[in-house]
Structure 1
């Protein structure tokens, strides 16, 4: 399981620990990932996703999973999230027709 947010693509960053003596040693900055269940209003079901805390706040701010995925760039999404996005678009097109 990779340390990457499924919705925003946020992943591990690298940097340095800098001591008082200005010694530099490599370190990793891990994203704050959480396992959450998000409900899709269009599909009427929940999806288990591993997303960052900031992505969860953004999903709430935009009005749910459907609205978030509609505005999200395909390059940032995981293959699973991309499939959910396509399923939601297909369901919305079927109800609009």
Structure 2
């Protein structure tokens, strides 16, 4: 399973460990991913995502899952999040 946030696209980053003697060795910074269930108000059902804690705060700040998916570009979203976004667009067009 890839270590990438399904909503923000945030993934692993590389950098260096720097010792006191200024020796540099490669290391990896991983995002803090959590398995969460988010509720869609327009679709009236819940969806499970693997989201970074930063992404989770961003979703809450933007007014919930529905607003976040409609505002976010398709390139950042995972395939499961894209399916939910398409359902939202259909539901919004029908209403």
Q: Per the shorter chain, which TM-score range?
A: over 0.9
- 1:8 corresponding residue in structure 2: 8
- 1:55-80 deviation line (CA, Å, top 9, x unaligned): 10011111100000011011000011
Query: Partner of 2:46: helix, strand, or coil?
Result: strand
- Equivalent residue number for residue 91 of structure 2: 91
Cα distance in 1 between the residues matched to 2:12 and 2:55: 15
Q: TM-score, normalised by structure 1?
A: 0.96
| Alignment-derived partner of residue 74 in structure 1 | 74
For structure 2, list consecutive stretches of 5 or more residues without a partner in the other structure: none
Aligned residues: 95
Query: What does residue 64 of structure 2 align with?
Result: 64
Distance 1:81 1:65 in 2: 10
Task: Provide runs of 4+ in structure 1 moved above 2 Å.
Answer: none
Distance 2:30 2:61 in 1: 24
TM-score by length of 2: 0.98
SS at match of 1:27: strand
Secondary structure in structure 2 of the residue aligned to 1:22:
coil
Question: CA offsets, 1:28-61, max 9 Å, x none?
Answer: 0000101000000111000000000011001111
Which stretches in structure 1 are left out of the alignment for 5+ residues?
Answer: none
Q: Which residue of 1 aligns with 2:46?
A: 46
Q: CA RMSD in A?
A: 0.5
